[in-house]
Amino acid sequence: MGEIPSVDNMISTLIIKPADGSTIEAKKKFRIDTITDNLISGFFSDPVKEYYVKPQQLKNGKILGHSHIIVQKLDDNRRKPLNPKVFAFFKGLDQPAKNGILGVDINDGLPAGDYRICTIVSSFTHQPVIMPIAQRGAQDDCIRIKVRN
């Protein structure tokens, strides 16, 4: 498992752009921005060569790692979990944060529909971050948006 942060250095992420519940224009470029506390970002191994091969590492008590953005289209059945193998967009945010912000442009936008946007915060070799206690807030965030013509 590796090094585990203290309760004062637990990961917490918020998607800050677009806003939850936003309506955006179909097939038009937009940006997704996130902010994460207690992550030293920019630590991203080659997932083909180093997937889950090293334990979680800390520097000054904070996790060395990176984040991901996943966009999934919601269907009409909102009581059935989405297939984790199906997504409209996936991107590892492997660069160091700029002013605390990690983000990505969706250059071609998305087709019309309803979508869920989520983060996955990971340590250097892609395993989910490990927190020191179970009773805590989530380390990842999800929002829902509408995309309309």
Query: Quick one: pLDDT at residue 1?
Result: 87
Cα–Cα separations (whole angstroms), residue 27 to 6, 18, 64, 104, 147:
43, 15, 35, 16, 9
Chain centroid, CA 111 distance in Å: 21
The first and second tokens of residue 67, run together, are 């984040």
CATH superfamily label, 7-148:
Immunoglobulins (2.60.40.10)
Domain ranges of the chain: 7-148
Beta bridge partners of 65: 41, 123
Query: Quick one: pLDDT at residue 136?
Result: 97
**pTM of the full structure:** 0.94
DSSP assigned state of 7? G
Beta bridge partners of 147: 24, 113
Digits of tens for pLDDT over the chain (149 positions)? Answer: 899 999 999 999 999 999 999 999 999 999 999 999 999 999 998 888 888 889 999 999 999 999 999 999 999 888 899 999 999 999 999 999 998 899 999 999 999 999 999 999 999 999 999 999 999 999 999 999 999 99
Cα–Cα separations (whole angstroms), residue 142 to 15, 50, 56, 72, 129:
7, 27, 24, 11, 16
